[in-house]
Chain A
Amino acid sequence: MAHHRTFKEECSFIDRLDDNSFLIKKGFVPNMKVEGIFYINDSLEKLMFDELKNWAGTQGIGGFLPGVKQIANVAALPGIVGRSVGLPDVHSGYGFAIGNMAAFDMSLPEAVVSPGGVGFDINCGVRLLRTNLDEKDVQPVKEQLAQSLFDHIPVGVGSKGVIPMGAKDLEEALTMGMDWSLREGYAWAEDKEHCEEYGRMLQADVDKVSPRAKKRGLPQLGTLGAGNHYAEIQVVDEIYNMYAAKKMGIDHPGQVCVMIHSGSRGLGHQVATDALVSMERAMKRDTIDVNDRQLACARINSQEGQDYLKSMAGAANYAWVNRSSMTFLTRQAFGKVFKSAPDDLDMHVIYDVSHNIAKIEEHVSFVYQGAI
């Protein structure tokens, strides 16, 4: 770039659409194929513009790339359609902004898939379990319950799970996703209904998952991991839509739920790392230009692109099996403390939502989402 723009100059490319959204116009970064849009509230708005202001102040040298720039860089990826979207948890991430969503038209030969868009923790997501317990049932046994959960679900970097897995079990789990959990009895039949993709991506190919990734994943099934991952006992505070809540088995404030936030552990991280390495080569070969090295990508229809999608699907399946295993362990932990069957505690899955995943969706486009 010839000269660095001032913060004010940068802002001339960003238009306020309404109280809660801004449009990023073409020209904000080079090669933008489409415009960007991001959704904010007051505090997020301040954060986004502070990021940009700091960055402009350092003339773009050092520090991390602000989220708005990342949204714009994604808008410059080959094959993108619609807009590059920053969802209301948007902030700076790896290549893509966190909460950055984009769709690519698979019919365009130049359309790309980028592991940065999916993220390193492939198919990281949250799952909510309900119980028929009330806050007052849990209060007196809080300590025991927390301890029981810790005993069943090991946490932290390098933790190992209590579910015995062999290499063959792992390969089957990667292929079958939650169907494996069902077959082995770690999940209830109804659980699947409440998961995206019914807890299984069919295009998974275990042969595309490297031995190193499998080795990392093998002992970790049924563990939470570190960082912002958690298994929390939560209490319903307020119900906004009684009909919907009742359908989900939530019927009163004070009802106890369990939320599990976790993903594909070391296995997913390794799959992403492997893909980034192979894609750097593919980018040179196919002369794909991107604005940020972190946006390493490959054409969807190239060998590298297809291999990534198949291994990503395997990692996604691993994440569903992982959350299902932790669901099983949570049900056991509750069952022991309350001396009753998880069935009688009505411990059904309410939902399981992924926030780090790429999917082929109708209209033959290709969608990423990344959040949290």
Chain B
Amino acid sequence: MYRRKLKALGHHHPESFDVHNDQEFRNLVVWLEDQNIRLYKIEDRGEIRDVKSSEWLKTFRKYLDDLKCPVDLSQKVSVVDWLLAHAVRVEYAENAEKYNNVGQMDQSNQTEGLGESSLDDSLMNLTVDNPDLKAGVTSLSRLFSLPQHPDHFVLLQAVRSLIEGKLSSLASKTDKKSDKKADIIPLHKVDLGFDTGDSAVNEAAKIIRLLHVTELRELQTRINEAIVAVQAITANPKTDQSLGRVGV
């Protein structure tokens, strides 16, 4: 499941890496730290490099803390995924220009056949009840600290709206555009207008209403954009001062 990230980072056997093999796992951690992450100075990497040590797990736990990894070590699979993603981020941040150029060249040269070659079989043949998909959605939702839901489709939608709203490049762009920070109104200062008799339900109702208002606002903004586009064609406001006459 880490094949792409491992390959991207230049791992020597991305196809056969087995996260449940403890030795491979420990070696990978050391390799990532040495090659990409480089959180510690070389002379301070002694303990983490000592993969045979009985204290290694303790060292690793501290390492994750130092990295501010949000995933708990009990979820080893997710931790590895996070480490790999972090390494990719570091690698990209250091060589952004290089990779951006490659991306552009790729786009111009390889638009053909992209569909088949880059989407591997596992994605092409993905079905809704695929257990891998379920597991993936569940671990994603844990990463985002979303409450669990029995229907992984509902969870996936929640993950999607969270990413769209908070993490996508578009969202971060609009955040920057409105350069002043959004005003934060404490929930208890929001007026619900009615009382359900249950404070938790009241709060939920307030949240739903605020979300609803936000959605309406987005819709109205899109409508306004459409109106502005039409105005570019139809609008021709005129004034003629000679018509004006002041009354008595």
Contact = CB atoms under 8 A, between A and B. Distances in A.
Interface of A: 150-152, 154-164, 182-186, 189-190, 193, 219, 223, 226, 243, 246, 328-329, 332
Query: Which bucket holds chain B's interface residue count?
Result: 20 to 34
Contacts of B220: 193
A163 B239 contact: yes
B235 interface: yes
Interface stretch (B82-90, B130-138, B226-234): B226-234
Given A164-B238, A183-B234, A190 B248 contact: no
A159 B189 contact: no
A219 B243 contact: yes
B103 to A, nearest CB: 36
A185 B245 contact: no
Given A189-B224, A190-B224, A156 B247 contact: yes
B189 A243 contact: yes
Contacts of B245: 154, 158-160
Contacts of B102: none
- Of B225, B230, B246, the most chain A CB neighbours within 10 A belong to B246
B240 A151 contact: no
Given A151-B244, A157-B247, 7 more contacts: A158-B247, A163-B238, A164-B240, A183-B231, A183-B235, A185-B237, A243-B183
A162 B234 contact: no
Contacts of A150: 246
A185 B235 contact: yes
A190 B231 CA distance: 13
Contact of A332 (B228, B231, B239, B244): B239
B101 interface: no
Nearest to B242: A162
B125 interface: no
Contact of B244 (A161, A185, A246): A161
Contact of B243 (A158, A161, A185, A190): A161
Nearest to A156: B247
A99 B66 CA distance: 68
A162 B241 CA distance: 5
A156 B246 contact: yes
B228 A189 contact: yes
Given A193-B220, A243-B185, A162 B235 contact: no
Contacts of A226: 247
A185 B247 contact: no
A246 B227 contact: no
Interface of B: 183, 185, 189, 220, 223-225, 227-228, 230-231, 234-241, 243-248
Nearest to B189: A243
Contacts of B236: 184-185
A182 B231 contact: yes
A293 B60 CA distance: 92
Closest 6 CB pairs of A and B: A185-B235, A156-B247, A159-B247, A189-B224, A158-B247, A189-B227
A157 B235 contact: no
A303 B185 CA distance: 52
B237 A186 contact: yes
Contacts of A329: 239
Given A183-B231, A185-B231, A156 B243 contact: no
11 contacts: A154-B244, A158-B245, A159-B245, A160-B243, A184-B237, A185-B231, A189-B223, A189-B225, A190-B224, A193-B220, A243-B183
A160 B244 CA distance: 5
A185 B235 CA distance: 4
Contacts of A185: 231, 234-237
Given A158-B248, A189-B227, A190-B224, A184 B234 contact: yes
A155 B247 CA distance: 6
Contacts of B189: 243
Contacts of B234: 183-185
- Of B185, B189, B225, B243, the most chain A CB neighbours within 10 A belong to B243
A159 B241 contact: no
Contacts of B235: 183-185
Given A155-B246, A157-B247, A328 B227 contact: no
A321 B141 CA distance: 51
A80 to B, nearest CB: 27
A259 to B, nearest CB: 21
Given A154-B246, A159-B247, A160-B243, A189 B237 contact: no
A152 B243 CA distance: 11
Contacts of B225: 189
A189 B224 CA distance: 5
A161 to B, nearest CB: 7
A158 B243 CA distance: 13
A226 B235 CA distance: 30
